[in-house]
Each structure stands twice: as structure tokens, then as C-alpha cells.
Structure 1
Amino acid sequence: MRVVVTGATGGIGERISRRLAESGHSVIMVGRSAERIDRARGRIAEAVPGADLAGEVSDLSLTAEVRALAERLEPLPDVVINNAAVIAPLDAVTGEGRQLMLATNHLAPYVLLRILAQRLGDRPARFVIVGAHPGGLRRTPVDLDDLEFRNRRTLGPVPSFRPFVAYGRTKNMNAMFGYALAARLADTMITVNGGHPGIVDQTGLGRNCIGLLRLFTTMINPFAQSLDEGSDTPFWLATAPEPAGQTGRYYLRRQAVPTAPHTTDPARLYRLWDESAALVGLPADVS
């Protein structure tokens, strides 16, 4: 089986890649630089002699690079695991002028999976979108009038904590996109599911945090799961027979769980889909 993993050069993404290699799958590791990919491949190859590993360089914050990645992947993958995500300052923007977290965490999988779904056609595939805990996400509904977090006051009273709230919104976008894409691909052999890996140390996700948010991430690290525990649900969704044929679901510890009503409301799903399409220059109609 050929599996694409984004954010594969460290943390959960690297551990998912290693587990896939241990199971005999071909892994395409997507990262921001060839150097980071080579280092991660070297670590996995040392632990898994003979591992079938390839690398694809793509800055997932840039729609043009994501589109190019989706269009050049060949042979087409059997599984895509969207794992890449960042917590970044609210004023961080990409070279294309988009807010960095929105671009990396939401628009990248939106573009990648839409183009790959079109290329796959009637072939079977699994799309896995790594999300966050559905309980915590209930409190951070997406503001469909402010996808790029320009109204800072709605993100809470503590400035250093606002990027974490914005990150939570992007994770809700992931869930909403997964549901919307699954519905649009219901007549195909492609399944789309989301899953929460748990709070995991050593991901590098909070490397840009400051103030109270840095203190918060430091305090929760002793309670974090191991990388093996964190990689379990995404790996299971990608490879296990049990979720085969299941689509439009969200999983926690291998169990399908509900997410907040604001992530499943059809009107909100349609609007986020259409707004995202406009931001990246794709037609809203997938036909």
C-alpha cells in the first residue's frame, strides 16, 4: 500500500511513517525541506532496515506548492494522512498573503484532498485528517465571517493565548471539511475520516508559543501520551480492516465519536466549503 503522510519529518507524523514502514507499506513523507525529510528518513531507516521511504518537498502553507504536490504524486496513493499543523502568531502570513495557521492547517488539506480525489476517480482510497479533541473543540466554533482571525477580541482576553484558540478553530475546520468532503465523495470508493491522536509531547507544535500559552504547554507535557499512543488512531484508520468502508466519521481512541453541532450543521459546512474554494481558486462544485 502506498501512503502519503504530511508533516512527516517529526512528532506524530514521523512515528506514523515509521509504523507504516514497519508494516511493509510504501511511505511518501511530505516535509518543508529536503534536509528535514532526509533526517527523518534516516532515523526510520535505521530502525526499520529496508523501509520503503520516499520524500516530497512541499511548503504546505502555500497553495501553489500544495497544488503542485497533488498534481505530481505518481503512482497515486492508496492512503493520505493529513497530519501537518502549526500554532503560529496571529500576524504570521504566508508568501501568498494568507494567515499562516489557516493556510497550513486547513487550506492545505482542502486543496490536497480535493485534487487527489479528482485524480483518483473511481479508485479506492482512504483519506485521514488528523484533528483535535472533540470535547475541547466545542468551545472554539469557526467564525465564518473571520476565517483569518482578524478580529482578535473574539479569540479571548489573553493575547498570548489567542493563537491557541485560533488553532482550535482550524482544527474545527478540519472536522467540517472532512464531513463535507465525505458527503461529496459518497458515491465513490474514497473514504474520509477524522481522528484525534491525543495530547502528545515531542510534536514541536508549540515551538512558537509565548507567555501563558508557553506555560500551559509546558504544564501539560507531563500528562502527554507517547508518540506510539498518539500515532495509533491515525495509523489504525489508514490500515485496519475495521474502518474500511466507513466515511464521514470522527474517531477518538479507535471509536467513532460525535463532534459539536457547529461542526456538522449543513449550512455551515457549505459556507466553509465555498469560502475555502474562493480563497484557493478552486470551483465550489466538485463535479
Structure 2
Amino acid sequence: MRNTPGLPMAGRTVLVTGGTAGIGKATAMGLARLGAHVAITGRDRDRAEDAARELRASGGERVDIFVGDLSVQLQVRRLAGEVLQRLPRLDVLVNNVGGYWNSRHRTADGRERTFALNHLAPFLLTNLLLDRLTRSAPARVVTVSSHAHAMGRIDFDDLEGERSYSGARAYNQSKLANVLFAYELARRLNGTAVTANALHPGVVSTAFGAEDPSRVGRLFVPFLRPFMKTPTRGAATSIHVAANPDLEQVTGRYFVNGNPKRSAQPSYDETTAARLWQVSADLVGLAGAAAK
């Protein structure tokens, strides 16, 4: 299958973060098969090139790779600059990259890694690419969250777990931050023809969290794995929200299994969302980001 005018995503360019494995690679593959010019990000160049070869073999005629550790702000900025140089248009940004660490890790910026990668990275990258998305409109920002957001709480007094750290608490908070970010972005982009939505991909069998798993994860995930979704099934909602023509004007929503659902009540708190936006902008040095 090649990029021909008869395909629904023909002529459109999509950037998928964390596209070298798991849900991200399956999302990129699905969008490539729909005719999109797909670009992926990954930390390791060899893995990114291997993924690109797979994408081309499965039907993606145009595949670009961008290499960088998105938990590091300097690398997010460098990668965004390369995207702006190499991609003259950007129709869809899929903020897919994410991780789970049972113990507290610090990034090169001194930030707590879960918060840095799962929230600050998509926040910064989206804002750096927003002008390109706006000029390519109608365009979409799709942020992969999780049902775990329902157990999250934004602790402004200890956002990065310096006083007390729990891998699960940090992850849940970051996933709530994803939904708050998507909704706040949708409000700020009102009238621009750029939509912003969040989604839950389901419980998917990937290597997610394997670098520093929790004790519960080590004990129970092997038994649960046969009942989890495959990456291809897990990517279905991301692909749907990124590509379905019926969603061109749908914004500020949360999707599960391809359908809009109500997210947890704290995700609708506009005061918390606005405060989180300002705190995030300060942490990444991005004053006036996507101002209303």
C-alpha cells in the first residue's frame, strides 16, 4: 500500500513521539497505511532506523526519524527545531511517548523523570510546534493518557516527588496532567482549527515500565499479559482520533475504545489546568505559551 490520493491520510504529515516500539510504532504503522507521511521520534538511532524500515515495508512511502531523549528539555528543543526544518507542514502531532519508573530518577535538567517525560515533554514539544500546526490547519494534537488519570492528583506542593515519591502516584499524576493539558490546549486554541484531544489506549502488552518496574508489576504482569491488548489494538484509538474525518472539529474530549467518554472529574477543573499550564511554562522556560 503506497501513499496515493485515494487514501484518507494522503498528503498529511503526522509526527508520533515514542514511535520506535509498542503503541507508538503501531500508531505510526496504522497511519502510514492510511497514506500519511509519518515521522517518529526515538531515543536510539538504530532502533528508530529499524522502526522506519518496518514502516516502509508495511506501506509507508515517506517515513522520517528524529532522535532525542524527550525527558531532556534541550533535546526536545533541538528535535523540535529539526522537525520545523524538515517538515514543511504538520497536520497531526501524536504525543505518545511516556514511561513509568518505580524509583525516583532525575533528568539532566534535574527534573523528576516521570513528570518530565510524561507531561513536560509533550507540553514543550506541542508549544514549540504549534505555529506549524496552526499554519497546516485543520490540524490535530492527540495526547495519549491513561485510565490511571482517574487516580491522579496534581500536588502543586510536591509536583516532582521530592518530599515523598511513589512510582504509581507520579505516573497517575502525569496522566491526569495529560488530560488537563489537552483540555486547556483545546480552550486556548479555540477558533484556530487545531483540535486537542486525549485518550486511553487500554491495557496493552508492551515493554512499558520494564526499565524500573514496581514489585506488583514484576509479580503480576506476566500472568496478566495474555489478557492485555496487542500494541495494534492499543493503537486503534490513537489512529481513530488522529485520522477519522468525522472528528475534524471535535476538540477537548477524552476517548476510550474509539468513543468519547467522560474523564475523571478533576480533569475538568479549569483553575487547576490553568495553574498547571503556568507552572509547566515556567519549568520549561516558555513564557506566554499559547496565550489566549
Of the three residues 23, 39, 47, the one matched with 1:28 is 39
Residue matched to 2:26: 15
Deviates more, 1:84-93 or 1:67-76: 67-76
Residues 90, 132 of structure 2: 8 Å contact kept: no
Residue matched to 2:155: 143
Alignment of 1:68 onto 2:82: no
Mapped partners of 1:233, 1:138: distance in 2: 19
Q: Shift in Å at residue 225 of structure 1?
A: 0.7
Q: Shift in Å at residue 182 of structure 1?
A: 0.8
Alignment of 1:260 onto 2:264: yes
Mapped partners of 1:13, 1:25: distance in 2: 15
Q: Shift in Å at residue 226 of structure 1?
A: 1.5
Q: Shift in Å at residue 122 of structure 1?
A: 4.5
Of the three residues 24, 44, 47, the one matched with 2:58 is 47
Residue matched to 1:189: 193
Q: Percent identity?
A: 34
Mapped partners of 1:76, 1:47: distance in 2: 23
- Which residue identity lines up with residue 30 of structure 1 in the other structure? T
Residue matched to 2:9: none
Residues 66, 111 of structure 1: 8 Å contact kept: yes
Q: Shift in Å at residue 52 of structure 1?
A: 1.6
Please give the TM-score of this superposition, normalised by the length of structure 1: 0.91
Residue correspondences, number: 276
Q: Deviation digits for residues 70-90 of structure 1, max 9, x if unmatched? A: 233221311010100011244
Residues 152, 175 of structure 2: 8 Å contact kept: no
Of the three residues 83, 101, 111, the one matched with 2:124 is 111
Residues 103, 212 of structure 2: 8 Å contact kept: no
Residue matched to 1:204: 208
Q: Shift in Å at residue 203 of structure 1?
A: 4.0
Residues 68, 75 of structure 2: 8 Å contact kept: yes
Q: CA RMSD in A?
A: 1.7
Residue matched to 1:168: 172
CA 1:173–1:216 in structure 2 vs 1: closer, same or farther (change >3 Å)? farther
Mapped partners of 2:169, 2:61: distance in 1: 38
Q: Deviation digits for residues 251-271 of structure 1, max 9, x if unmatched? A: 001111111221111111111
- Which residue identity lines up with residue 97 of structure 2 in the other structure? A
Residues 5, 29 of structure 1: 8 Å contact kept: yes
Residues 123, 189 of structure 1: 8 Å contact kept: no
Deviates more, 1:86-95 or 1:56-65: 86-95
Mapped partners of 1:2, 1:175: distance in 2: 24
Residues 91, 133 of structure 2: 8 Å contact kept: no
Q: Shift in Å at residue 66 of structure 1?
A: 1.0
- Which residue identity lines up with residue 227 of structure 2 in the other structure? F
- Which residue identity lines up with residue 70 of structure 2 in the other structure? L
Q: Shift in Å at residue 183 of structure 1?
A: 0.5
Mapped partners of 1:261, 1:147: distance in 2: 20
Helix, strand or coil at the partner of 1:222: helix
- Which residue identity lines up with residue 94 of structure 2 in the other structure? I
Q: Deviation digits for residues 164-216 of structure 1, max 9, x if unmatched? A: 23111101110011111110001211100001110000243334204223223
Residue matched to 2:276: 272
